Structure 1
Amino acid sequence: MTEPDLATLSPDAERMWADIMELSSIVDDASPGWSREVFSEPYKASREWTLARMRGAGLETSIDAAGNIVGRLPGLDPNAPSIVTGSHTDTVHSGGRFDGIVGVMGAIEAARTLQESGTRLTSDLIVVDFLGEEANDFGVSCVGSRAIAGVLEPGHLQRKNRDGVSMGDTMAAFGLDPHAAVSMAWNPRSVKSYIELHVEQGPMLETAGNEIGVVTSIAGIERLMAVFTGRADHAGTTPMDQRADALIAAAEAILTVERVGCGAPVHGVTTTGKIATGQGAFNVVPDSSTIWAEIRSIDPSWLTGARRRIAEQIATDAAKRGVGVAIDLLNDQDPVPAAQSMQDTVAAAAGSLGLNWAAVPSGAGHDAAHMAHLGPMGMIFVPSRGGRSHCPEEWTDINHLRSGVQVLAATLMRLDQA
């Protein structure tokens, strides 16, 4: 393979930084941090902004049935399979300015960098802003990348939020075509590879002083919702051993979730992210409660066993308290290893640029996990200050962003010549 001329790659980090800051101004002013949740009005406005940015970068743009914003930089050979990159621009509630956004703005900047250096790839370069990567009220994450990969199912469209509205109806109200979205999968033969630039969202790179992370695997995610049904009684007159307290059963379940996570042998974590109860009062024994939890690991056998142990223990403990429980298990994604060829390509690109890099797993979910269905997948991480993410304090320094885009552009050139 001919060595790419890396000396021609000079991304404009200040331009990219300005893009990130401008996009971060399109948020829900009524919410803390930088909130731009999927299907919201701020998200709708930000998509128009992103579409205009892609066009301004010389990309041919379109929006597909699932709402993905797709930009194309034509290559020399229209029959060659495409190289795909991108990420997402939606956020969690009270989120940050870098998670996902760096992958989209970095991909746009890489496309600009290639054009400004006079580099023309043989393959088309496809830049995607995937719709709705973050988990939503329907319990479905990565909506857009699932659709492209052919793993968005009719059952996903039927899932309902707390108001009883289905995801399919919500997508339609947002101007999308949910029925077409479940049948619009790309042909794997049309994709040469997929590479995603992302902030690490953890502390490993910063702690070790590394500038680039070469992702080895993306953690699998199992989600669990447990609904506890007890009996309302007078809090002053009902003896402790005669209660069916749904809230106590839920609290015990939360500790079970934590205990299983603490026993993970390698890379495994568990989190209860939310608890809700009925109307409640000081003097009433709670008769209903619900928890939402998840389990993550790059080890598929531990992940499966942990899900089973948690569900069985929750059911056993609730029964001892005379509380009924209905457990809904949702597999968000299985662990997905990055292709070894992609890891090697990213590492070689970072090394050729004189950057310190390390092999790291990803505990977070990404659109890349679904794009792996279409071809070799890889990810590039840049450090997150203090390992903070999914919060307003999320931060990545501009010099790390510059390094990330340099590695992305160099990786694109290497993939094109492979």
Structure 2
Amino acid sequence: MAAPDLGALVPDTERLAADLAALAAYRNPDAPGWTREVFTDPYRSERDWVRDRMRDAGLEVRVDAAGNVIGRLAGTSPSAPPLVTGSHTDTVHGGGRFDGVVGVLGGIEVARRLRETGTRLTRDLYVIDFLGEEANTFGISCLGSRAIAGALTGAHLDRRDAGGRRLGDVMAGFGADPDGALRQAWPAGGVHAYLELHIEQGPVLERQGVSLGVVTAIAGIERLLVTFDGRADHAGTTPMTERRDALAAAAQAVLTIERTACAAPVHAVSTTGRIESLPGAFNVVPERARLWAELRSVDAGWLSGVKGALASQIATEAAARGVEAATEWLTDQDPVPTTPSVQDQIAHTADELGIRWTPIPSGAGHDAAHMTPLGPLGMIFIPSRGGRSHVPEEWTDLAQIAIGVHALAATLANLDTAPG
């Protein structure tokens, strides 16, 4: 078979722009930004639209038990391990228009350009819109990719949100088959390569003036919930030296968590995203506080080792205030290195196309991190203006998206003939 003309796989930018605008119209009008959270009506309607776009692109479309929307472009040897690309179309509350969306619409555009240029891959190409990549009220992200990888469990389905709703029941109400989702894992090693296009969600590529990032690793995430128990007292009559202020202990822990990441030997970040306290009155010393935070790093050893030291330090500092602190770890994912051979193929393809690139770690979590048991893994980043993401101001220029989609198409074409 003749080598594909990689230059011919350049995307139709007007069509990409129209698709981005059309998908962005599916949003919660009562929420800020382009809010389209999992299991909501805008999300349901938008995914019907995605299925139609996949069919228009010539893909055979199905929805699996977990609710993943999967399009298939047949290759000449359907028995060969397939190529897979995709991402997600759900958003955080107040999110933007590009996070995840670029990978799904980019994958659909790749399928179109392969068909329009008469480029027939040897392998099947799957384009997936994964269900629920973003963290949700049930405290679990990447629902669809976990199911495909066999990492979704019955314990996950039994999780309940603040309103008492069970995740499995909500999935069923959305049209998925939660019990089937536990049995639908793809065979380990059955994918020739998984390649995901995504916005960087950080400032590195823009600052360096580079069009493409070759992702070297996806950060692991350790989430923690700390409960502080002090004593309620009158705020006007209790001396400062005699207080057991749970909220003050939580505030001190925020800075301790921040310093922990700043002292890491390699890439690490930490964020306290939420604090609540009781009784929540101006004139009562807080007797209880709860803090939710996370640590992220591509260094698995540091991420694992820091947990005990951090919990101990938080407890010691709280005890000095007469407050008890109990830490519960809510592990989300381990660090995942991308596959060197796929990194090399992305870089080689970028060189062929004359695209400037740089190696870069991902501080964000992605569906890609859960696909690693299935086969070789790679990710392509494109710039984010100002490094902004998970906000309405999230932006990536159309020209940069087109470069990323072209690199995605060309890399998939090169991977098609690469040794397994």
Structure 1 range deviating more: 142-151 or 42-51:
42-51
The alignment yields a C-alpha RMSD, in angstroms, of: 1.4
Tell me by how many angstroms 1:279 deviates: 4.5
SS for the counterpart of 1:307 is helix
Equivalence map 1:172-321=2 (5 Å): 172-321=172-321
- Going from structure 1 to structure 2, the CA distance change for 1:239 and 1:263 (only over 3 Å counts) comes to same
Partner of 2:9: 9
Equivalence map 1:37-52=2 (5 Å): 37-52=37-52
Partner of 1:154: 154
Partner of 2:29: 29
Partner of 2:119: 119
What is the rounded CA distance, in whole Å, between the counterparts of 1:255 and 1:403 in structure 2? 40
Q: 1:195-220, CA deviations, whole angstroms, 9 ceiling, x for partnerless residues? A: 00000111111111111111111111
Structure 2 unaligned residues grouped into runs of 5+ = none
SS for the counterpart of 2:374 is coil
SS for the counterpart of 1:207 is helix
Structure 1 range deviating more: 234-243 or 395-404:
234-243
Q: 1:143-188, CA deviations, whole angstroms, 9 ceiling, x for partnerless residues? A: 1101101111222222222223222222222222222212211013
Structure 1 range deviating more: 161-170 or 177-186:
161-170
Residues 1:79 and 2:82 aligned together: no
Q: Which amino acid aligns with 1:352?
A: E
Q: 1:312-337, CA deviations, whole angstroms, 9 ceiling, x for partnerless residues? A: 11222223323233322122111111
- Going from structure 1 to structure 2, the CA distance change for 1:281 and 1:343 (only over 3 Å counts) comes to same
**Is residue 81–residue 192 contact of structure 1 (8 Å, CA) maintained in 2?**
yes
Structure 1 range deviating more: 28-37 or 276-285:
276-285
SS for the counterpart of 1:75 is coil
What is the rounded CA distance, in whole Å, between the counterparts of 2:355 and 2:310 in structure 1? 42
Q: 1:25-49, CA deviations, whole angstroms, 9 ceiling, x for partnerless residues? A: 1111111111111122211111111
What is the rounded CA distance, in whole Å, between the counterparts of 2:2 and 2:362 in structure 1? 31
Q: Which amino acid aligns with 2:409?
A: A
Residues 1:375 and 2:352 aligned together: no
Structure 1 unaligned residues grouped into runs of 5+ = none
**Is residue 193–residue 375 contact of structure 2 (8 Å, CA) maintained in 1?**
yes
What is the rounded CA distance, in whole Å, between the counterparts of 2:160 and 2:22 in structure 1? 33
What is the rounded CA distance, in whole Å, between the counterparts of 1:234 and 1:68 in structure 2? 54
**Is residue 72–residue 126 contact of structure 1 (8 Å, CA) maintained in 2?**
yes
What is the rounded CA distance, in whole Å, between the counterparts of 1:154 and 1:318 in structure 2? 36
Partner of 2:365: 365
- Going from structure 1 to structure 2, the CA distance change for 1:263 and 1:2 (only over 3 Å counts) comes to farther
SS for the counterpart of 1:386 is helix
What is the rounded CA distance, in whole Å, between the counterparts of 1:405 and 1:196 in structure 2? 10
- Going from structure 1 to structure 2, the CA distance change for 1:239 and 1:57 (only over 3 Å counts) comes to same
Query: Identity across aligned pairs (percent)?
Result: 60
**Is residue 2–residue 417 contact of structure 1 (8 Å, CA) maintained in 2?**
no
Q: Which amino acid aligns with 1:55?
A: R
TM-score for both structures, normalised by structure 1: 0.97
Q: Which amino acid aligns with 2:148?
A: I
Tell me by how many angstroms 1:415 deviates: 0.9
Tell me by how many angstroms 1:365 deviates: 0.7
What is the rounded CA distance, in whole Å, between the counterparts of 2:386 and 2:195 in structure 1? 25
SS for the counterpart of 1:205 is helix
Q: Which amino acid aligns with 2:408?
A: L
**Is residue 4–residue 119 contact of structure 2 (8 Å, CA) maintained in 1?**
no
Partner of 1:106: 106
Partner of 2:55: 55
Q: Which amino acid aligns with 2:4?
A: P
Partner of 1:164: 164
SS for the counterpart of 1:97 is coil
- Going from structure 1 to structure 2, the CA distance change for 1:322 and 1:166 (only over 3 Å counts) comes to farther
- Going from structure 1 to structure 2, the CA distance change for 1:281 and 1:333 (only over 3 Å counts) comes to same
**Is residue 295–residue 307 contact of structure 1 (8 Å, CA) maintained in 2?**
no
Tell me by how many angstroms 1:345 deviates: 0.7
Q: Which amino acid aligns with 2:118?
A: G
What is the rounded CA distance, in whole Å, between the counterparts of 1:115 and 1:301 in structure 2? 45
Q: 1:121-153, CA deviations, whole angstroms, 9 ceiling, x for partnerless residues? A: 111100000111111112211111011011112
Q: 1:50-82, CA deviations, whole angstroms, 9 ceiling, x for partnerless residues? A: 111111111111111111111111111121111
- Going from structure 1 to structure 2, the CA distance change for 1:164 and 1:289 (only over 3 Å counts) comes to farther
SS for the counterpart of 2:373 is coil
What is the rounded CA distance, in whole Å, between the counterparts of 1:2 and 1:356 in structure 2? 27
Structure 1 range deviating more: 288-297 or 375-384:
288-297
Tell me by how many angstroms 1:189 deviates: 4.3
SS for the counterpart of 1:372 is helix
- Going from structure 1 to structure 2, the CA distance change for 1:407 and 1:55 (only over 3 Å counts) comes to same
Tell me by how many angstroms 1:285 deviates: 1.0
What is the rounded CA distance, in whole Å, between the counterparts of 1:38 and 1:315 in structure 2? 36
What is the rounded CA distance, in whole Å, between the counterparts of 1:317 and 1:147 in structure 2? 41
Partner of 1:356: 356
**Is residue 7–residue 353 contact of structure 2 (8 Å, CA) maintained in 1?**
no
